[in-house]
Structure 1
Amino acid sequence: MTGFTPINTLEGDARFDAYVARPEGDDAKAAIIVIQEIFGVNEGIRRKCDNWAKAGYVAYAPDLFWREKPHVELDPDVPEEFQAALGYMQKLNQDQAIRDIEATIKAARAAVDGGKVGLVGYCLGGRLAFMAACRTDGDAFVSYYGVGIDGLLGEAKAIGKPVMLHIPTADHFVLPDAQKTIHEGLEPNRHVTLHDYDGLDHGFAAEMGSRRNEEAAQLADQRTADFFAEHLA
């Protein structure tokens, strides 16, 4: 069963939509929140939710741009839509987005009778997944090519749950100096696992489009699946 469902904000003063995919029989072993790229809850993000549902999880993808425009869906391979996506990203209040992610965690945990909730994010969502690891009560966190994490390391001391980062070494949004800072800042933390992908660029694990690298995407996704299987059991 799939479709959008409303979620109450933490303040209870509004509602926003999340795409939800449930496993057959609705017997989920845990929940996973998929945090969007700058392109909204588009077909690629929905496919990721659907794949988690096939693996036995209930998956949520909250619409984080809803305050600006609900149900944004953009294609990174279309230049005009890529530019529009950058505009939505720049307008996003990331602290509010984390609160919306917290509200989604609350809804997802209720959906699995108080069970565990993992979070996985891509690009902007990778940054937000890292922020969520520092600020929320999720149980495990995965970041794919998160942007600007080198500027968030002051929060890393709050990380007390398992975290995994997928870092493509040729990411043109996260340059080598930033990657070095991330490694130096996070490698001492026993809760954090870092995986580098040599020569790959931002977006290599997208479900569709020109950015995807099939071999690396499958490797990263298997690592993520194993990570969640271990920490959400």
Structure 2
Amino acid sequence: MGEMITIPSFDGAGAIPAYVATPAQPAKAAVIVIPEIFGVNEGIRRKVESWAELGYLAVAPDIFWRFAPGVELDPDVPEQMQEAFGYFQQYDADLGVEDIKAVLAWTRTQDVAKTGLVGFCLGGRLAYMAAARTDIDASVGYYGVMIDTMLDEAGGITKPLALHIPTADHFVSPQAQATIHAALDTDEHVTLWDYEGLDHGFAAEMGNRRDEAGARLADERTREFLARNLA
């Protein structure tokens, strides 16, 4: 269903590869899917195609295109997990937000009125950053990392943002989760959903990390959230 395209970057460094799926009927809105640290792999492509099946123009940019273009990794393979951690250390999230702005500018040339964003892990952090730094219409972050270190940017959030927080996330400590709740629970633009006992990656499309019940619940909430806020 999908295909690879390129989108010009804002900084003139080149073109951002992106996987795009188009619905059979005119798109009711667009959804940008921001991958985990494993690239635009099969799981992310499935998520893009699922959004297209729901009637959205869906696009997943290759967030590591500047230094590891086209990489696809499997988190269930230890060596590939370590490779992914290395890419995470190299990644410049500020440039990542600029790339999101470029993809957002592209979606707005595609005859859709609104664009939302769904991000996972590092992409979950970028969902928060995009909500604070761009005019994206709605954002959803799954198990975003390091959000607790960026809460001084929360004042920039003026459009709906939802965050899925698994309470047993081994990359986001209970203290970090408490800090996020303390800062954002009363923010009228932000919705926080906790998943008791679930770990990082519970909504992965496939693999050992997936929790079926948790993933289904989170994805249903995401679909309803974006349907309401992108209408």
TM bin (shorter chain): over 0.9
- Kindly report which structure 2 residues correspond to 1:1-233, keeping only aligned pairs within 5 A, or say none: 1-25=1-25, 27-111=26-110, 113-233=111-231
C-alpha offsets along residues 18-50 of structure 1, whole Å, 9 cap, x if unaligned? 00011114x100000000100001110110000
- 2:10 and 2:78 map into 1 onto residues whose CA distance is 35
Q: Structure 1 runs of 4+ off > 2 angstroms?
A: none
C-alpha offsets along residues 62-97 of structure 1, whole Å, 9 cap, x if unaligned? 001011021110000000000000001110111111
Identity of aligned residues (%): 60
C-alpha offsets along residues 120-154 of structure 1, whole Å, 9 cap, x if unaligned? 10000000110000001100000000001000100
- 2:116 and 2:130 map into 1 onto residues whose CA distance is 10
Q: How many residues align?
A: 231
SS at match of 2:17: strand
Q: What is the deviation of 1:110?
A: 1.3
Q: What is the deviation of 1:2?
A: 1.2
- 1:20 and 1:114 map into 2 onto residues whose CA distance is 14
- 1:13 and 1:45 map into 2 onto residues whose CA distance is 24
- 2:126 and 2:73 map into 1 onto residues whose CA distance is 19
SS at match of 1:157: helix
- 2:59 and 2:228 map into 1 onto residues whose CA distance is 20
Ranges in structure 2 where 5+ consecutive residues have no aligned partner: none
Q: What is the deviation of 1:191?
A: 0.5
- 1:219 and 1:202 map into 2 onto residues whose CA distance is 15
Q: What is the deviation of 1:11?
A: 3.3
- 2:91 and 2:5 map into 1 onto residues whose CA distance is 21
- 2:149 and 2:216 map into 1 onto residues whose CA distance is 29
Q: What is the deviation of 1:13?
A: 4.7
Q: What is the deviation of 1:12?
A: 4.0
The worse-fitting range, judged by mean Cα deviation, of 195-204 and 100-109 is 100-109
Mapped contact 2:48–2:58 kept (Cα < 8 A)? yes
SS at match of 2:162: strand
